[in-house]
Amino acid sequence: MQPTVFGLGTITRWKEETTKHLRSFVQRPTILGLISLSLGGMVPLAVAQGPTPPTQPTSSAAVNEGPVASVANPCPRFSAGGVVDNPPALFSSGGVLRVRFSYQTRTDANNRQLFCFMTPSGLENPTLHLHPGDHLIITVTNNATQGVTSDSMGPMAINAPNCGDNTMTNASMNIHYHGTNTSPVCGQDEVIKTIVNPGQTFQYDLQFPANEAPGLYWYHPHIHGISDPIVMGGATGAIVVEGIHNVQPEVAGLPQRILVIRDQPQIQGLAEGAGGCTNGVPFRDLTVNNVPIDSNQAVANGPVTFTPAVIHVRAGEKEYWRVSNTSADTILDLQVQYDGVAQTLLLAAIDGVPVNSQDSNLRGQPIPVTHFRLPPASRAEFIVRTPSSRVSSAQLVTTSINTGSAGDCDPNRPILNIASGDDGQAGNDQINDARVANYSGLSDGGRRFAGLATAPVAQSRLVFFDENPNTNQFFMAVAGQPEAVFDPNNPPAITATQGTVEQWTVENHAMENHEFHIHQIHFLLQSQNNFEINGQPQAPAIVGQYLDMVEVPGWDGNPAHPFPSVKLLLDFRGPDIGDFVFHCHILNHEDLGMMNIIRVVAPSNGWNANQTRLTGTGDDASAASAKSSVSNVKGVAFSTVSGGGSK
């Protein structure tokens, strides 16, 4: 059957290279679409409330609490040079954290559009503290008074089965729980179909696995086409899965800082330097915990300066810094410098997983580094020794980054001035996440990836980043398939089997860096290949670790040079089945199409969990499973939106 084109849209973006993008929305009649989101017979708890709310489902775990009213003075921001405190924090109790969010937008004095999640009491983007096994129940109302003003995309129909509304607009929102190994079903960490439009209320009930690794995660909206301006607008917050003190005992009892680094459109609209990044102008400005570090060029073509934010520390004391790069587009290369000398940081966790904690023994082993490369969406947690009284200049900086001939220039710039003095937050237990809990015995609870390195590989695949500079299309391509920009109505490009391990090679065919992310699972980074021959350094400390983000540098364009690539072991041994996405986490690229869908299906004939494939091809086995699943789950998908389902 010929596909039917039923919609066209254009998107405008800040950056010249991506100012125009033509999307064709292709409806593919497919039986597989019918089971999207509902594999495994999970019953969604989510509720969309329009102007005429349908009957509300309830369950013991999730009680509908009604719409969340708009909050006055939303999305507050601090002044440049301000003191950085931990964000406000909320803590689970009795296995549940209930949160009510009003999603709002406003325009700041520099005409930048801000976005945020506000609690009814006025907390902005609070850090959500949970324990493994807890439920995170979020009732969120989309109170955005206007859509993304930089976006001219028209409404787009989302094919059934739907989760919430069935029309995606430039004012839609949803929430992704980045890095969490939670379920991709409607009402949990589902982003392909989940649509909450202005005036609507949606309820999440996210169950964290009992063996979730203790560490730092984060949340943000994930609507395709507008994720970049929304994340840059600031609708992001940290999630802490508690317990790292019993996996990396070195961090137990230390003063703790939660540092959420964001980016936003540059305040002066300065142009980046051509090639070589010579003029000191960054692509985006940074903020840390909403204290801005705007670039400032006082004289045309003159030097660009930055005013760092400030923290107060006690001299010569160990602290535990938990840094989330919640930038939309900005890669960081973090370094702590005392009088210009790079300090040794003890890296305790990457992307929510304590380093060296999954295999060999129960006690993780921190990794000493003098800098750490943090792709957008990645997290680094490390022990810092604060400067002694003899140090005159102490800073957290990001060193200069050039992401390739088609990429961006980011100069060396300061993020924090580290000021000695005991008047700061460090050790201030009045703020209840200002200190890591005390050690209370080694934990075996968070080792969900143990044994991945030696598990049999069920399938090997090649995926790659590519760009078409003539059409400004960005692709997350799968070898052997035509390149296509993302469309939420497309069928999955890859079908994998729950219970297996796959080895993926991720290449970069484009001439700028891209950042690989897959939802729902982590992967073991086996190797970084062909980086140096393309003029790029390997990132330190990440080979052999369990990540949800990895950077693949740009190709240098020399036909004699192989593409840069990374080799990954993907862990599908967890319980999650369903459809979810893998994409570049430079969100500007994701919005332009650099995303694709994977379906994980329950094992069927020809497969054994944790074993290699026995007969047939993977796709054959998946198709057989999908067909049988249709009859099992038909009629279940989202019927509870008007039905009254329970868990």
**Residues forming the site for Cu ion (CB under 5 A):** 514, 584, 586, 589
**Shortest gap between Cβ of 180 and Cu ion (angstroms)?**
22
**Shortest gap between Cβ of 467 and Cu ion (angstroms)?**
9
**Shortest gap between Cβ of 283 and Cu ion (angstroms)?**
13
**Shortest gap between Cβ of 592 and Cu ion (angstroms)?**
9
**Shortest gap between Cβ of 581 and Cu ion (angstroms)?**
14
270 or 586: whose CB is closer to Cu ion? 586
171 or 584: whose CB is closer to Cu ion? 584
Separation of alpha carbons 22 and 63, rounded Å: 42
176 or 322: whose CB is closer to Cu ion? 176
337 or 513: whose CB is closer to Cu ion? 513
182 or 378: whose CB is closer to Cu ion? 378
Q: Is residue 563 helix, strand or coil?
A: coil
**Shortest gap between Cβ of 400 and Cu ion (angstroms)?**
19
18 or 264: whose CB is closer to Cu ion? 18
**Shortest gap between Cβ of 403 and Cu ion (angstroms)?**
9
Residues in contact with 265: Cβ distance below 8 Å, sequence separation at least 6, in sequence order: 14, 112, 232, 284, 285
* Nearest alpha-carbon partner for 241 in 327, 136, 118: 136
**Shortest gap between Cβ of 221 and Cu ion (angstroms)?**
18
455 or 586: whose CB is closer to Cu ion? 586
* Nearest alpha-carbon partner for 140 in 26, 47, 214, 271: 47
Separation of alpha carbons 622 and 425, rounded Å: 53
Residue 516 near residue 506, CB atoms below 8 Å = yes
* Nearest alpha-carbon partner for 413 in 502, 314, 303: 303
115 or 465: whose CB is closer to Cu ion? 465
20 or 363: whose CB is closer to Cu ion? 20
506 or 636: whose CB is closer to Cu ion? 506
Radius of gyration of the chain (CA): 23
**Shortest gap between Cβ of 503 and Cu ion (angstroms)?**
22
**Shortest gap between Cβ of 552 and Cu ion (angstroms)?**
9
**Shortest gap between Cβ of 263 and Cu ion (angstroms)?**
14
Separation of alpha carbons 423 and 315, rounded Å: 11
586 or 626: whose CB is closer to Cu ion? 586
**Shortest gap between Cβ of 128 and Cu ion (angstroms)?**
27
Task: Write out the E strands in 28-150.
Answer: 89-91, 96-107, 113-118, 127-130, 135-142
3-state SS record for 153-189: CCCEECCCCCEECCEECCCCECCEEECCCCCCCCCCC
**Shortest gap between Cβ of 176 and Cu ion (angstroms)?**
17
Give first-to-last CA distance, the chain, whole Å. Answer: 38
With tokens 């973090």, the residue in question is 334
**Shortest gap between Cβ of 514 and Cu ion (angstroms)?**
3
474 or 546: whose CB is closer to Cu ion? 474
190 or 228: whose CB is closer to Cu ion? 228
- DSSP secondary structure of 390-445: T-S-EEEEE--EE--TTS-EE--EEEEEEEE-TTSSTT-TTSTTSBPPPP-S---T
Q: 323 forms bridges with which residues in the sheet?
A: 259, 380
Separation of alpha carbons 336 and 386, rounded Å: 10
198 or 404: whose CB is closer to Cu ion? 404
**Shortest gap between Cβ of 515 and Cu ion (angstroms)?**
6
211 to 95, 131, 207, 364, 525: CA distances (angstroms): 14, 10, 11, 16, 20
Q: 398 forms bridges with which residues in the sheet?
A: 334, 413
258 or 377: whose CB is closer to Cu ion? 377
Classify burial at 5, counting beta carbons within 10 Å of its beta carbon; exposed 0-12, middle 13-18, buried 19 or more: exposed
Residue 190 near residue 326, CB atoms below 8 Å = no
Residues in contact with 53: Cβ distance below 8 Å, sequence separation at least 6, in sequence order: 47
Please calculate the CA angle 211-549-322 and round it to the nearest 5 degrees: 70
Q: Is residue 474 helix, strand or coil?
A: strand
Separation of alpha carbons 489 and 245, rounded Å: 43
**Shortest gap between Cβ of 609 and Cu ion (angstroms)?**
33
* Nearest alpha-carbon partner for 586 in 552, 555, 542: 552
Cis peptide before 161 (omega within 30 of 0): yes
75 to 103, 290, 398: CA distances (angstroms): 10, 10, 26
Query: Which two tokens mark 305?
Result: 């300066």
* Nearest alpha-carbon partner for 256 in 436, 483, 455: 436
396 or 525: whose CB is closer to Cu ion? 525
With tokens 């650099």, the residue in question is 594
